[in-house]
């Protein structure tokens, strides 16, 4: 299994600002992902964080709004840019191990935008 | 992409009761997992079960891949079982894991 540390755990931000969320895994993992969970909803994949190259974004998510970095096999960041109240959600980092089977999650970042 | 429907959407149980949660997929999946999201938001991977049956304590899961569904059984429920249960899967060689709609479970003393 993998232990994933995510920070900050929560934040309250002003409209128009940006927030960077950090994700640290305790072991090298092949795949890292970023999900969004809106209140009372299921999880939606934002993007796959690729080590050493640009992230792969899902439909409806763009790099300018959600830039992602993954400089090595254990660390990734997600930035939520130019925030609006519609960005208020839980953002979750996840990773899968070498076999690409089980998915593990960080504790999430509760973001509120005023 | 695949569609993942879960039933029931909401469930209230008396402590000690048993329950079955169902997950239906619109297409064949080769990677099926069950998760529990506790009331504080933490997601825990319960099972990786692309086919067959697995058991872990009071929980067990069965996946019938040919019929595109999976079941999660909770026996002798406890208040700590409360939260939301998600199934998730992916198809073919595609890396994206799609999550189901979720079942919100409340276990009352």
- Strands (E) in A8-114, as ranges, are 10-13, 19-25, 31-37, 43-49, 56-57, 68-69, 75-80, 89-96, 103-105, 109-113
Contact A60, A36 (CB under 8 A): no
* Number of domains into which chain A is organized: 1
Domain of A55: which CATH number? 2.60.40.10
* Number of domains into which chain B is organized: 1
Instruction: Calculate the average pLDDT of chain A.
Output: 93
- Distance between CA atoms of residues B94 and A16, nearest Å: 35
Contact A101 B48 (CB under 8 A): yes
Chain A residues with beta carbon closer than 8 angstroms to that of B100: 42
Contact A103 B88 (CB under 8 A): yes
Decide if pLDDT at A98 tops 80. Answer: no
Chain B residues with beta carbon closer than 8 angstroms to that of A107: 41-42
pLDDT of residue B1: 75
pLDDT of residue A30: 83
pLDDT digits (tens, 9 = 90+) for A64-77: 999 999 999 999 99
Q: What is the DSSP string of B7-68?
A: E-SEEEEETT--EEEEEEESS--SEEEEEEE-TT--EEEEEE-SSEEEEETTEEEEEEGGGT
Residue B103 lies in a domain: no
Residue B109 lies in a domain: no
Contact B45 A103 (CB under 8 A): yes
- Distance between CA atoms of residues A83 and A78, nearest Å: 13
* Range(s) of the domain holding residue B82: 4-97
Query: A interface mutation test: which of B33, B43, B48 has the most A CBs within 10 A?
Result: B43
The CA-based diameter of chain B, rounded to the nearest angstrom, is 44
Residue A46's closest CA among A27, A23, A26?
Answer: A23
Rg (CA), chain A: 13
Contact B88 A90 (CB under 8 A): no
Give the chain B residue nearest A41 (alpha carbons). B101
Neighbouring C-beta atoms of residue B35, cutoff 10 Å: 23
Decide if pLDDT at A2 tops 90. Answer: no
SS3 A70: coil
pLDDT of residue B28: 85
How many CB pairs (< 8 A) connect A and B?
Answer: 44
Paired with B71 in beta bridges are B22, B62
A73 Ramachandran zone, left/alpha/beta (phi>0; psi -120 to 50): alpha
Domain of B85: which CATH number? 2.60.40.10
pLDDT of residue B71: 98
pLDDT digits (tens, 9 = 90+) for A32-47: 999 999 999 999 999 9
Phi/psi of residue A64, nearest 5 degrees: -65, -30
Decide if pLDDT at A88 tops 70. Answer: yes
CA distance A59 to chain B (A): 11
Decide if pLDDT at A100 tops 70. Answer: no
Decide if pLDDT at A99 tops 80. Answer: no
* Range(s) of the domain holding residue A35: 4-113
Residue B104 lies in a domain: no
Residue B16 lies in a domain: yes
Q: Does B96 touch chain A (CB under 8 A)?
A: yes
Chain A residues with beta carbon closer than 8 angstroms to that of B35: 103, 105
Mean pLDDT by 10 residues, chain B (109 residues): 92 97 91 93 94 96 94 97 95 80 97
Residue B108 lies in a domain: no
SS3 B65: helix
């Amino acid at each position: 299994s993998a232990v994933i540390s995510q920070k900050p755990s929560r934040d309250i931000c002003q409209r128009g600002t940006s927030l960077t969320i950090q994700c640290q895994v305790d072991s090298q993992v092949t795949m890292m992902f970023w999900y969004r969970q809106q209140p009372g909803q299921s999880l939606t994949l934002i993007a796959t964080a690729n080590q050493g190259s640009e992230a792969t974004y899902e439909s409806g998510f763009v790099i300018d709004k959600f830039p992602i970095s993954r400089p090595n096999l254990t660390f990734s960041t997600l930035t939520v840019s130019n925030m609006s109240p519609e960005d208020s959600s839980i953002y979750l980092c996840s990773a899968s191990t070498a076999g690409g089977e089980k998915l593990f999650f960080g504790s999430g970042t509760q973001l509120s935008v005023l | 992409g695949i569609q993942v429907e879960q039933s029931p959407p909401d469930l209230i149980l008396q402590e000690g009761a048993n329950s079955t949660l169902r997950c239906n997929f619109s297409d064949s999946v080769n990677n099926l997992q069950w998760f529990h999201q506790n009331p504080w938001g933490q997601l825990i991977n319960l099972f990786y079960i692309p086919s067959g049956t697995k058991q872990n304590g009071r929980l067990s899961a069965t996946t019938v891949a040919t019929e595109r569904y999976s079941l999660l059984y909770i026996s002798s429920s406890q208040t700590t079982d409360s939260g939301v249960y998600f199934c998730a899967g992916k198809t073919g060689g595609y890396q994206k894991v799609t999550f189901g709609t979720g079942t919100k479970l409340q276990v009352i003393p």
